[in-house]
Structure 1
């Protein structure tokens, strides 16, 4: 059975960058060699991506223009996109999830493979957490505060998490790995 891993990069105050260029400029200052290696290893682990509409649209503009091992991997892997507004056909080796998103992801988890990775936290994450479909959350926290913007897990209710481990990088960034335990 494939595992679903959700990975999010946030500031110390829980802000996610989305389309804010200043946020990403700050994050990239903390992409030390060990952070980059961690992110590369994470990308090389799964055989498919789960994406919400916003992440899909953002990634589909950036990744096809990039080169290297990580770009080759992400550009070639299948992507499953949850959206109520996108229409087929999707580009960038992507398939639109039709009908009940939770049921579709349950079926994807049953397929043979290495795993499913979702980047970012949003409505898709909320649906998967509510339905018990997330096997692991990886929250990469950077040592700065951003002060405003969308917070990870905003409006998602209460969920308890079991800490699996924490790793500190040379840049001061930390990744916390959690196993969701369910709604509180």
Structure 2
């Protein structure tokens, strides 16, 4: 049985919008404020996560964004990301942009449940905020890995904006990345002591 791992970069106040400053958000570009030591430590963290992943799960826009940045690169991290199996959730996409990708066009919940049954290991979700909202809403996330950047933006799209009910979490790991980043790992607290089940 696969595990859905949501791995995100967030500001101190939970904003995920436009980390690289390419989307026109006035407070974007916060990822680029990293110093060299923090950037190197973050890259090593991400490489190790990619090496431990079984597959990636992405939304349509994230598929295009990552493809444009990674397909032309080489090296251990790029090779791993480009070669991993990828599953792109979209009702409109026919041909995904990133390599080794399959489009999931049906009902998102059913498609993800099927994917979890068919794969063993970590199925990592990067970016793909609308997809993350859907996964959280339907209790399909097995683990959250948040890399927290030491900046308060005060505005912007937040990782969990629009979730309809409380989602209790338990902290299972913390670590410092470089000098300024915190990496926090959470797992959902089962409701009434039972793991939620959604019929396929």
Distance 1:82 1:109, change over 3 A: same
**Structure 2 residue matching 1:124: 3-state secondary structure:** helix
How many matched pairs? 183
**Structure 1 residue matching 2:38: 3-state secondary structure:** coil
CA RMSD of aligned residues (A): 2.2
CA distance in 2, matches of 1:156, 1:55: 21
| 1:22-171 superposed matches below 5 A | 22-27=29-34, 31-86=38-93, 88-91=94-97, 92-120=99-127, 122-157=129-164, 158-171=166-179
- 1:71 Cα offset (Å): 0.4
The answer to whether the Cα contact below 8 Å between 2:38 and 2:177 also exists between their aligned partners in 1 is no
- 1:32 Cα offset (Å): 4.1
What residue number does 1:178 align with? 186
CA distance in 1, matches of 2:178, 2:83: 31
Deviates more, 1:104-113 or 1:73-82: 104-113
- 1:77 Cα offset (Å): 1.2
Deviates more, 1:135-144 or 1:124-133: 124-133
The answer to whether the Cα contact below 8 Å between 1:46 and 1:114 also exists between their aligned partners in 2 is yes
- 1:46 Cα offset (Å): 1.0
The answer to whether the Cα contact below 8 Å between 1:49 and 1:77 also exists between their aligned partners in 2 is yes
What residue number does 2:195 align with? none
- 1:109 Cα offset (Å): 0.8
Unpaired runs of 5+ residues, structure 1, are none
**Structure 2 residue matching 1:80: 3-state secondary structure:** strand
What residue number does 2:6 align with? 6
TM-score, length of structure 2 as denominator length: 0.82
- 1:28 Cα offset (Å): 6.3
CA distance in 2, matches of 1:144, 1:30: 17
Deviates more, 1:32-41 or 1:96-105: 32-41
Distance 1:120 1:28, change over 3 A: farther
